[in-house]
Amino acid sequence: MNTSRRQFLHRLALSAVSLPVLPTFANNFTQFTEPSSSDQPMLRVALMGLGSYAERVAKAMQQCKHAKVTALISGTPSKLDKWGATYGVPEESRYNYQNFDRIKDNPNVDAVYVITPNALHREHVIRAAKAGKHVICEKPLAISVQEGQDMLDACAAAGVQLLVGYRMRFEPNTLAVVKKRMAGEFGAIRFFQGQCGFVAGDPNQWRLDKALAGGGSLMDIGIYAINGARYMVGEEPIWVTAQETKTDPVKFREGVDETIQFQLGFPSGAIASCLSSYNIDFLDRYFLSGEKDFAEMQPSTGYGPIKGRTKAGDLKQPHVVHQTVQMDEMAQILLQNKKPLLPVDGKVGLQDLQIIEAIYRACETGERQTLQLRA
């Protein structure tokens, strides 16, 4: 690892940045408690990148029935010590970014959850795969289609599975709408709208660094609208148009998008109109319109509870912490070959990257881009 990357990881570990639009997570740790016993196998997870989102995942996993934290990977020794004591992770299962390849010799790890900046995903996923561990990678999968394909190829070569942290694909109210659509209750789908955005704070955060984030709002928050359009409409888009708006070129430098509007077209004739922004608050809404019914969800992608309604009334599925549900479901996918209602494998992440690249091309050229997602 070169000096600049080492310095970046150290800086990131010292001051992780959380998403302003989402609820702030408490900084204090609570003592780890062993999940309830189960006859089912337990997924043993190494968390990589101990920032604010990893903290959210670790705390949520205390309530998991099928997954637990058994190893830690960080560039900050003090975090390894603190987290190790909190979550009962022994010193021999604590790694830094230079030596974590040794995890291949740790029988107490089944999967590595990569929660590092976007530009580091490729390296970290490939190294984890070569160590013989399944990999869960936070979204976006990578910063380019080529990097994403490299990651899929590496996992396939190693005989391990690659999943992407699309927590909304397990959220109960979201799935209730998807099931209604699958059952034909909406009739033919005509329109989807996805609005995702917040005002990005610290101008020095890594999410506003093109080299580390791979872009701007679209890579971080707009991907929810992209992914949501796919599972809400139930089809894959075949074309995209897009327009970029930038009001603050100092904060949002070249290659870091501030606000993008994009439109997707689907084989049936359904269309999607979406908005992704780092400079507009309170954007967290999905709207689905069919010939027989509609679904409106607001908030639609925040940490919850997710709320919504259809013609029949309010969505009433109970709220469970998203990361708890996600990790329990992923444990069953990896260990028991469970087939989720909505897939979360690396191919889904790669397809989102194809759409993202097409959106950026549409912004640059002003022309409609044809899509043919990789099967």
User: In the chain, how many H helices and how many E strands?
Assistant: 11, 15
Please state, as a whole number, how many other Cβ atoms lie within 10 Å of the Cβ of residue 337: 8
Catalytic residue IDs:
139, 224
CA dihedral 40, 51, 99, 146 (to 10 degrees): 90
C-alpha 322 chain-centroid distance: 12
From residue 220, alpha-carbon distances to 166, 307, 355 in Å are: 12, 22, 14
Q: How far apart are CA 280 and CA 259, in angstroms?
A: 8
C-alpha angle 287-195-234 in degrees, rounded to nearest 5 = 50
Q: How far apart are CA 370 and CA 373, in angstroms?
A: 10
Mention every residue, 6+ apart, whose C-beta is less than 8 A from residue 354.
Answer: 145, 371, 373, 374
C-alpha angle 169-173-175 in degrees, rounded to nearest 5 = 40
43-48 vs 111-114, strand pairing mode: parallel
Helix, strand, coil percentages for the chain (3-state, nearest 5)? 40, 20, 40
- Indicate the SS3 state at residue 189: strand
Maximal CA-CA distance, the chain: 58
